[in-house]
């Protein structure tokens, strides 16, 4: 099955081996790594490569995963957004990461809305979508609010982080964005 999601300005598609370099470049940026790395700093390329391989592997194991996000106008790879649920995760999460030169354009919420629609469609029994967010990650909280998620009050501990679980109930979300 070909997965191809179009939003107003973006195209979402399953991550491919050819996106590895762009993904490592984004994750090597200190601004992005601040909330997506176990040390809050960019990881070595050998670790970023392994991380990317695990995202591709997630697709193989689960049949869904992060999507590469391409800018329609230029074809540029601008980030990765989408559903994932690695072992031990507290639910199907919609995660997001956008290259820092494209921050502030509303790309993360635009892509997330497309990805969540796809996720609710793929999993008709899924009662809610979550995002796990570090309490000081204001940018990510802003995205969560824009896509209709609210802080649930639940905490998920991972690495040295105590992460807030933000969530949107299926029916409420579909009424607003579906």
| 103: contact with ligand COA by CB under 6 A | yes
| 167: contact with ligand COA by CB under 6 A | no
Among residues 6 and 171, whose Cβ is nearest to ligand COA? 6
The per-residue DSSP string of 141-162 comes to HHHHHHTT-EEEEEEEEETTEE
Among residues 22 and 171, whose Cβ is nearest to ligand COA? 22
Min dist CB 7 to ligand COA, Å, is 12
CB 119 within 8 A of CB 94: yes
| 123: contact with ligand COA by CB under 6 A | no
| 109: contact with ligand COA by CB under 6 A | yes
What sign has the CA pseudo-torsion 111, 112, 117, 123?
positive
Q: Which two tokens stand for residue 38?
A: 């176990």
Q: What does the alpha-carbon distance between residue 24 and residue 26 come to, in Å, rounded to a whole number?
A: 5
Among 51, 56, 59, 137, contact with ligand COA (rule: CB under 6 A): 137
10: closest CA among 53, 74, 91, 61? Answer: 74
Determine the 3-state secondary structure of 105 from DSSP: coil
Among 38, 57, 104, 178, contact with ligand COA (rule: CB under 6 A): 104
Site of interaction with ligand COA (CB under 6 A): 32, 35-36, 96-98, 103-109, 133, 137-140, 142-143, 146
């Amino acid at each position: 099955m070909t997965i191809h999601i179009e939003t107003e300005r973006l195209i979402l598609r399953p991550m491919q081996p050819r996106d590895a370099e762009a993904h490592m470049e984004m994750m090597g940026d200190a601004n992005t790594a601040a909330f997506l790395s176990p040390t809050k700093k960019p990881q070595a390329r050998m670790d970023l490569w392994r991380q990317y391989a695990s995202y591709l592997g997630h697709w193989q194991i689960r049949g869904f995963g992060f999507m590469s996000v391409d800018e329609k106008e230029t074809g540029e790879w601008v980030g990765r957004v989408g559903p994932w649920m690695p072992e031990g995760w507290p639910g199907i999460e919609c995660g997001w990461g956008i290259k820092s030169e494209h921050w502030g354009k509303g790309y993360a919420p635009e892509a997330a809305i497309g990805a969540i629609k796809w996720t609710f469609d793929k999993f008709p029994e899924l009662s809610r979508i979550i995002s796990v967010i570090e309490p000081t990650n204001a940018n990510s909280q802003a995205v969560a609010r824009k896509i209709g998620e609210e802080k649930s009050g639940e905490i998920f501990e991972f690495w040295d982080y105590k992460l807030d679980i933000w969530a949107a109930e299926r029916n409420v979300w579909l009424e607003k964005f579906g």
